[in-house]
Amino acid sequence: MSVSFPHLGYKRLSRAIFEWQAADRTALLAVFILMEVFLHWLWCAFVWWYQDALGAYVYIHLLYPLWFGITVMGVFFWGIARHLSHLKRQTTAIKNKNLNKWQLLLVVPYTFYIATVIIMVGYSSLFAGVSLVGGAMLGMMLIKRRYAWRVFLLQIALILLAILAPYFGIHLPNLRQLTFVYPFLDSQNYLTYNELMAIENTLATSVFKGVTLDWSSISELQRSSTFFWRATHVLLALPKAIFIVYMFRTLLLILDDSKNEILKHANQDELTQLKNRRYGLTQMKQALKELQDGQDFSVILLDLDWFKDINDTYGHEVGDQVLFEVAQTLTQALTDAAIVSRYGGEEFLIVLPATSHDGAMLIAEQLRKDISKHIIKVDDNEAFSVTASLGLYTFTHEQSVCMKQARTEQLQLEAALQPAPAGKPRHHRSALPPEYQTLLPPDICQRLICTADKALYEAKDRGRDQVVSANHMFVSENSRHVMLCGI
């Protein structure tokens, strides 16, 4: 197999299995089958060894053909496992073609084998259920899913046939003595499973051993025979069940990891490791929804100055390094409450929920200083610093109240103009659902960013490396910009 066991811990190994090549996974399935066959072989050896004691419950003369069959199948599966582990030396095309054949050669005989063992060892719902479900699940994880599904159906068909066979007069070999339990008893009384087992075993003993029937021997047998067969079925089913649950758990853990990985890539900017624009906007929208009454909401748009010149002078790689280091500076300077994202090429969006204008101005000024102070080292001889321009806008709680009110009125008007559905009264103006009355316009984020962007332009116009507040601009320029972004 391509992955060497000693170099991997068991956790990493079980995860690595899912990344293995198909041939290796099929070989692993062959190894699992071999282990299961060996367990059956050991059980036969155990019964044979204690045949004097267990002969009362087991048809020993049937044990030998079963044991022989298990040995033959063990050798067969061992041969397949060996062949599969050599298969990976072949080229991919030949390997894939051969692999299908080998997978079928593995799972079809296994299906007949396990069905035979289940039938001969006495149809226990535990043993049959675990074998059916577990085998199918393992198959789905390790080989072609189509094959695993078909083999699963074949196993169900075989077990159903085996269950129905006695009703058609076909007597299948069964190691368990006296296994015919007719579902429709002549007795009017309801018998529990244990009582049935006890009677069955007592009868078997009386028939084959000439033991006198009495209730003490019944309870004796109930304890011994039932215990023996239950223990057998648990022994044969449990390792498979534990292993399958473990593999399933590993599979779910892998799926969780992949989901987190996908989410990370979907939400994160790869270069700067900040949130990307889409995720930044989603979080901004969420923060606006969660804004409490009386709280202000500030937005900063930060753009690096003369960034094209940095690319032209030092190359794109250094440009990338600058973007990464500026992103680090921002993350270090801001608290977790701030939402920092890469908004565009060399532009960053910083959202400060529940932050007043004065507080946001202080933060923006500090960010500007931090960036200009930060030295970017290109190599041992060369270093430089960059500056940034920042546009800030604070959406005050008074504006928020006004906007919500205007929106509510607009929605009420729209509702009033809508024709009422047939048979239903028209909504009264004040009858809008409460959530409607707290809504900000759907494009509120764009409006706030657009306003901050105007301040950013102004900062660039004024000579860069500075912070400009859109709120101050509105006061000084008679609200011209306010109208432009619809605030």
Q: What are phi and psi of 212, to 5 degrees?
A: -70, 140
Residue type, 171: H
Among 17, 39, 40, 15, which Cα is nearest to 28's? 17
Q: Does 461 bind ligand GTP (CB under 6 A)?
A: no
Return the residue matching tokens 């993350």.
331
Alpha helical stretches, state H, 121-226: 125-142, 145-164, 193-209, 215-221
The residues in 313-342 that bind ligand GTP, with binding defined as CB under 6 A, are: 316, 319-320, 323
Q: Which of 173-181, 182-190, 304-312, 476-484 is the region at the interface with ligand GTP (rule: CB under 6 A)?
A: 304-312
Q: Which of 279, 306, 314, 324 binds ligand GTP (CB under 6 A)?
A: 306
Residues 6+ apart with CB under 8 A from 470: 391, 392, 393, 451, 452, 454, 455, 481
Number of residues that bind ligand GTP (CB under 6 A): 16
Q: Does 303 bind ligand GTP (CB under 6 A)?
A: yes
Residue 16 falls in which region: left (phi positive, over 0), alpha (psi -120 to 50) or beta? alpha
Q: What distance in Å separates the CA atoms of residue 223 and residue 230, rounded to the nearest whole number?
A: 11
Q: Which of 308, 377, 462, 480 binds ligand GTP (CB under 6 A)?
A: 308
Residue type, 45: A
Least distance in angstroms from the C-beta of 452 to ligand GTP:
15
Least distance in angstroms from the C-beta of 302 to ligand GTP:
11
- Contact mark string toward ligand GTP, 250..289, x via CB under 6 A: ---------------------x------------------
Q: Which of 217, 224, 311, 396 binds ligand GTP (CB under 6 A)?
A: 311
Q: How far is CA 280 from CA 266, 362, 387, 400, in A?
A: 12, 22, 23, 21
The residues in 341-380 that bind ligand GTP, with binding defined as CB under 6 A, are: 345-346
Among 148, 151, 141, which Cα is nearest to 28's? 141
Smaller CB separation from ligand GTP, 285 or 374:
374
Least distance in angstroms from the C-beta of 360 to ligand GTP:
22
Across-strand partners of 47? Answer: none
- Contact mark string toward ligand GTP, 4..43, x via CB under 6 A: ----------------------------------------
Q: Does 426 bind ligand GTP (CB under 6 A)?
A: no
Contact 54, 94 (CB under 8 A): no
The residues in 463-482 that bind ligand GTP, with binding defined as CB under 6 A, are: 464
Among 161, 166, 34, which Cα is nearest to 106's? 34
Residues 6+ apart with CB under 8 A from 386: 304, 305, 306, 307, 310, 322, 326, 371, 372, 374, 376
Identify each DSSP E strand in 216-346 by its residue range.
Answer: 297-304, 339-342
Q: Which of 307, 348, 393, 395 binds ligand GTP (CB under 6 A)?
A: 307
Q: Are strands 347-353 and 339-342 parallel, antiparallel or unpaired?
A: antiparallel
Smaller CB separation from ligand GTP, 107 or 470:
470
Least distance in angstroms from the C-beta of 274 to ligand GTP:
12
Q: What distance in Å separates the CA atoms of residue 257 and residue 468, rounded to the nearest whole number?
A: 43
Q: Which of 6-14, 71-79, 172-180, 312-320 is the region at the interface with ligand GTP (rule: CB under 6 A)?
A: 312-320
Q: Which of 241-249, 302-310, 367-375, 411-419 is the region at the interface with ligand GTP (rule: CB under 6 A)?
A: 302-310
Across-strand partners of 467? Answer: 390
Least distance in angstroms from the C-beta of 271 to ligand GTP:
6
Q: Which of 13-21, 160-168, 311-319, 326-334 is the region at the interface with ligand GTP (rule: CB under 6 A)?
A: 311-319
Q: Does 460 bind ligand GTP (CB under 6 A)?
A: yes
Q: Does 304 bind ligand GTP (CB under 6 A)?
A: yes
Least distance in angstroms from the C-beta of 316 to ligand GTP:
4
Contacting residues toward ligand GTP, per CB under 6 A:
271, 303-308, 311, 316, 319-320, 323, 345-346, 460, 464
